[in-house]
Structure 1
Amino acid sequence: MLVEKIMKKNVYTLPPTATIREALQLINNKRIRHIPIIDETKQVIGIVSDRDVRDASPSILDEHAKQNVLNKPIKTIMSYPVVTIHPLDFVEDIAKIFYDEAFGCLPVVSEGELVGIVTEKDMLYTLIQLTGTHMQSSHIEIKVPHEPGKLAEIFSIFGRRKINIVSILIYPHQKEDDYKILVIRAQTIHPQPVVDDLKIAGYEIIWPQPLLGAE
């Protein structure tokens, strides 16, 4: 999946000369958490989070706090330089950037101009879509030899049962390098028949496990 499919195109921005007060009002009024700071050519020169703004704002509990701090330009608290991504980047690749750098958002830039933004929340929602957890389905995990043809064999078992596959994930077996764990979301609320077929075909089922006393 490409970044352009999940990015928000309606991005609220501010120039570096805007005040901290303006940023605070924008965050509160639009209920956003990040504001890209752009220059007159729409190039991203910084970014400000809601935490940055609130940390810079005087406490309402402090009677002696200097309220004029809110009149300082936003460039005094923005983070820079900014890591950006491209609309044609793969979501899987930018997920690693989010994880490695612990970013809350990434501006999307094309030909030097800001065209969108992707946040942590967008990434989590995309993960929900990619894994099919938003659809009524059953979760099946299978230990599969890492050999050519095994996926086709497993898919044929689902096909004979006329069960649609909603999503597929594959990850390494923690202890055996020659095996993978295949995670399938199947469009059925009664997975046991296909689970039994998989067992008959010689596959080890990690999930679902039989209920205690069921076997």
Structure 2
Amino acid sequence: MNVRDFMITKVYTIKPSNTVKDLLNILKTNRIGGVPVVDDRDQLLGMVSDGDVLRYLSPTPMGIAGLVYIIEVGEMEDVLREKLNTPVKEIMTKRNLIYVSPTEEFETTIRLLSKHRLKKLPVVNGAGRVVGVLSRGDIINNIYEQIIDN
């Protein structure tokens, strides 16, 4: 069994110049946890997830040993609004990208997701274009449908 047999082909992507606000809209509207970042030719440039957003938006510790947060009343909302205009390229994962091809075997994909503790894997064809995505849920559903529900 290959990745192409169970990957999602309706892939939501985002451009590096889109804002964090645009990203949040895609994540919320489509009830997903992350998307590939692509250029105008759908070439994979990076990945960005809800975890990347949370890490970016979280308050920065200040003070002695970084244990004190200095936030005035109303200031947090202003900081969040400002950060929402940041381009996705500033918070996306760009190095050591892990992806699979449509012909990759099911077992290899499970190992990659497990070993690297990934939630999503982009599926990239030989030309470098994102043609699908796999999530842990896709793997679980595939196991259920192929083995348990048979």
Count of aligned residue pairs for this structure pair: 132
Q: As a proportion of its length, which structure holds more strand?
A: 1
Q: Given the alignment, which residue of 92, 111, 115 partners 1:78? A: 92
Report the TM-score when normalising by structure 1. Answer: 0.58
1:22 paired residue number: 22
Q: How does 1:9-48 map to 2 (within 5 A)?
A: 9-48=9-48
Give the unaligned 5+ runs of structure 1.
136-215
CA distance in structure 2 between the aligned counterparts of 1:33 and 1:95, rounded to whole angstroms: 19
1:55 paired residue number: 55
Residue identity matched to 2:74: E
Q: How does 1:185-204 map to 2 (within 5 A)?
A: none
Give the unaligned 5+ runs of structure 2.
60-72
- Specify whether residues 30 and 129 from structure 1 end up closer, same or farther in structure 2 by C-alpha distance, changes over 3 A only: same
Q: Is the 8 A contact 1:58 1:69 kept in 2?
A: no
CA distance in structure 2 between the aligned counterparts of 1:8 and 1:47, rounded to whole angstroms: 16
* Structure 1 segments of 4+ aligned residues over 4 angstroms from their partners: none
Percentage identity across paired residues of the two chains: 27
Residue identity matched to 1:50: D
Name the structure, 1 or 2, with higher relative contact order (CA <8 Å, separation 6+). 2
**Cα distance per residue 1:87-120 (max 9 Å; x no partner):** 0111111111111111111100112111000001
CA distance in structure 1 between the aligned counterparts of 2:55 and 2:99, rounded to whole angstroms: 24
Q: How does 1:100-119 map to 2 (within 5 A)?
A: 100-110=115-125, 111-119=127-135
Q: As a proportion of its length, which structure holds more helix?
A: 2
Report the TM-score when normalising by structure 2. Answer: 0.82
Answering whether residue 103 of structure 2 is matched by residue 88 of structure 1, we say: yes
Task: Please state how far the C-alpha of 1:126 moved relative to its aligned partner.
Answer: 1.3
The alignment yields a C-alpha RMSD, in angstroms, of 1.6
2:66 paired residue number: none
Task: Please state how far the C-alpha of 1:55 moved relative to its aligned partner.
Answer: 3.1
